[in-house]
Amino acid sequence: MAKLNRSNIGLSLLLSMFLANFITDLEASSHQDLNQPYRTGYHFQPLKNWMNDPNGPMIYKGIYHLFYQYNPYGAVWDVRIVWGHSTSVDLVNWISQPPAFNPSQPSDINGCWSGSVTILPNGKPVILYTGIDQNKGQVQNVAVPVNISDPYLREWSKPPQNPLMTTNAVNGINPDRFRDPTTAWLGRDGEWRVIVGSSTDDRRGLAILYKSRDFFNWTQSMKPLHYEDLTGMWECPDFFPVSITGSDGVETSSVGENGIKHVLKVSLIETLHDYYTIGSYDREKDVYVPDLGFVQNESAPRLDYGKYYASKTFYDDVKKRRILWGWVNESSPAKDDIEKGWSGLQSFPRKIWLDESGKELLQWPIEEIETLRGQQVNWQKKVLKAGSTLQVHGVTAAQADVEVSFKVKELEKADVIEPSWTDPQKICSQGDLSVMSGLGPFGLMVLASNDMEEYTSVYFRIFKSNDDTNKKTKYVVLMCSDQSRSSLNDENDKSTFGAFVAIDPSHQTISLRTLIDHSIVESYGGGGRTCITSRVYPKLAIGENANLFVFNKGTQSVDILTLSAWSLKSAQINGDLMSPFIEREESRSPNHQF
């Protein structure tokens, strides 16, 4: 069989892109399996079984890699989890690869848990991951590619130095709370740094810092990179620079000549949400200081205010962007997951960058989603009268991409927000769409059944707050994703989600983009300032029986400035490993030279 070289890798990429498009077209014309109405058309999921955290996303030799926590034996989580692996040329169509590695040695014999990839200065990728060792304690391990000339990186080996970081009586780290190493970054002093999530017995969340010159010998720093009291265990931390001057991404080790801030994201086990802070990383002291501290209330900044956890970013050096993946768990009982034979999705990959205010992150579906767009509907300047509902005809409502922008003229008609209404999720949960209020609710009704027995609504409400300090009326924009009527099946978790959107409707339009994909509704409010992802399981609003509406249940009319909706074709999310277009290299030489 032909050996891989630069020119036939290029040819192979072209052919596999052609194949992906060809299969996409074929799949687009086929119908959803009626026995599997909740499988997605373009959100990543394995063919079957359990998946949780995204691990080690990267781009290597022009191929995107996604690893993920995967249980090959069933649809529920298991401690002896493995690193599932898929590859892609466009982050949309995916080829399934064999698991990168499984529990196999004393330092991970009870499980290969989450971790990250670091691309070394010589271009070689290396994985740091948490192993559950022979004593069921958490330790940090390394894995390296067996053959770095294989762009698909199908085989990984575990060097004999493992484990690289352990708990002991001296460091006092609890072996049950020591996991999920980040991508490492290189300091000016030539030393690598990495953080590992942890917590103390009295619920102080910790990003423990380790340093190394050679990536194999790691020493714990005296001080953690950051910690916060009463936050509990920090799972899956992510620490990365963002540019202060535009939406381009920044490489993780960059010192940022043109100005950078840093972002620390932690997944809190106590709430199962992903929180972020924006701040400064002091390279001399090796500590991170968040600009506004770590907000610990209901409106603390989160990457997503819905079903979303254990997210992780990577820097795409080809398209100069930072991309975010996040695990979107089921909202169904485990018995339903077992029956359908699978559990867990990944959110659609999002570009992530710092807003020009420097105060919040913006997220947007990666541009490659546009390759899936088919039939399009466009509306311009329509008045959405008080109490009205307009159907959007002409797109496949169960698998679509919808963008709509609203303008509200009579803002003074907004209801006054009660000072005690500080919890957006609670306000959304109290809202009853049949009760008309001032400005809103207005937005989209997605996955709606023909007779409206089922629907999921994603909407805004605008309130005013009488700010006495400067006698100026301030407006508060609330965004909700309401699943309470999403399914006739009452066994699912149908909690309503909500968050505030930091826009001023007196001079900004109120925009909403929603990706609909059978059992996932992923929404971006205010140009990506606020994201909410929901899982829904309609019994009736399936396939051609799903409908899409724009609605306004407020007492004042709202203008739709523009609405664009597209049918989305299905992506190839589990392409065949044995595709004839993927050439294999027969001889593989072990490579542990780092």
Ligand X SMILES: OC[C@H]1O[C@@](CO)(OC[C@@]2(O[C@H]3O[C@H](CO)[C@@H](O)[C@H](O)[C@H]3O)O[C@H](CO)[C@@H](O)[C@@H]2O)[C@@H](O)[C@@H]1O
Binding annotation for substrate: 50-53, 69, 77, 113-114, 179-180, 235
Instruction: Tell me whether residue 53 is one of the annotated catalytic residues.
Output: yes
Q: Of 202 and 451, which has the nearer Cβ to ligand X?
A: 202
Give me the least distance between CB of 232 and ligand X, in Å please. Answer: 10
**Binding of residue 174 to ligand X (CB under 6 A):** no
**Binding of residue 184 to ligand X (CB under 6 A):** no
Give me the least distance between CB of 327 and ligand X, in Å please. Answer: 7
**Binding of residue 69 to ligand X (CB under 6 A):** yes
Q: Which residues of 20-52 are buried (b: 16+ CB within 10 A; e: fewer)?
A: beebbeebbeeebeeeebbbbbbbbbbeebbbb
Q: Classify residue 129 by burial, with Cβ atoms within 10 Å: 0-12, 13-18, 19+.
A: buried
Cα separation, 239 vs 261, whole angstroms: 11
Cα separation, 270 vs 189, whole angstroms: 37
Report which DSSP code applies to 369.
G
**Binding of residue 77 to ligand X (CB under 6 A):** yes
**Binding of residue 199 to ligand X (CB under 6 A):** no
Q: Of 224 and 424, which has the nearer Cβ to ligand X?
A: 224
**Binding of residue 81 to ligand X (CB under 6 A):** yes
Give me the least distance between CB of 112 and ligand X, in Å please. Answer: 9
Q: Which of 33, 53, 176, 415 is catalytic?
A: 53
Q: Of 113 and 463, which has the nearer Cβ to ligand X?
A: 113
* Residue whose C-alpha is closest to residue 109's, from 129, 131, 128: 131
For the chain, how many residues are written? 594
Give the DSSP H/E element, type plus range, for residue 568.
strand 558-568
Q: Of 180 and 228, which has the nearer Cβ to ligand X?
A: 180
Q: Of 449 and 492, which has the nearer Cβ to ligand X?
A: 492
Cα angle 497, 499, 505; round to 5: 135
**Binding of residue 330 to ligand X (CB under 6 A):** no
Backbone angles phi and psi of 224, in degrees to 5:
-70, 160
The maximal CA–CA distance of the chain, rounded, in angstroms, is 77
Q: Of 174 and 555, which has the nearer Cβ to ligand X?
A: 174
Cβ–Cβ under 8 Å, residues 493 and 454: no
* Residue whose C-alpha is closest to residue 27's, from 577, 569, 400, 573: 569
Number of amino acids touching ligand X (CB under 6 A): 14
20, 117, 184, 310: which one binds ligand X (CB under 6 A):
310
Residue 373 carries which side chain, given as an amino acid letter? R
**Binding of residue 113 to ligand X (CB under 6 A):** yes
3-state secondary structure 81-124: CEEEEEEECCCCCCEEEEEEECCCCCCCCCCEEEEEEEECCCCC
* Residue whose C-alpha is closest to residue 447's, from 531, 521, 375: 521
**Binding of residue 130 to ligand X (CB under 6 A):** yes
114, 199, 311, 547: which one binds ligand X (CB under 6 A):
114
Give me the least distance between CB of 129 and ligand X, in Å please. Answer: 8
- Known binding residues are 50-53, 69, 77, 113-114, 179-180, 235
**Binding of residue 269 to ligand X (CB under 6 A):** yes
Q: Of 32 and 130, which has the nearer Cβ to ligand X?
A: 130
* Residue whose C-alpha is closest to residue 425's, from 484, 485, 348, 363: 484
Q: Which of residues 226-245 bind ligand X (CB under 6 A)?
A: 235-236
16, 37, 40, 53: which one binds ligand X (CB under 6 A):
53
Q: Which of residues 472-511 bind ligand X (CB under 6 A)?
A: none
**Binding of residue 179 to ligand X (CB under 6 A):** yes
Give me the least distance between CB of 497 and ligand X, in Å please. Answer: 19
Give the active site residues. Answer: 53
Point out which residues bind ligand X (CB under 6 A). 52-53, 69, 77, 81, 113-114, 130, 179-180, 235-236, 269, 310
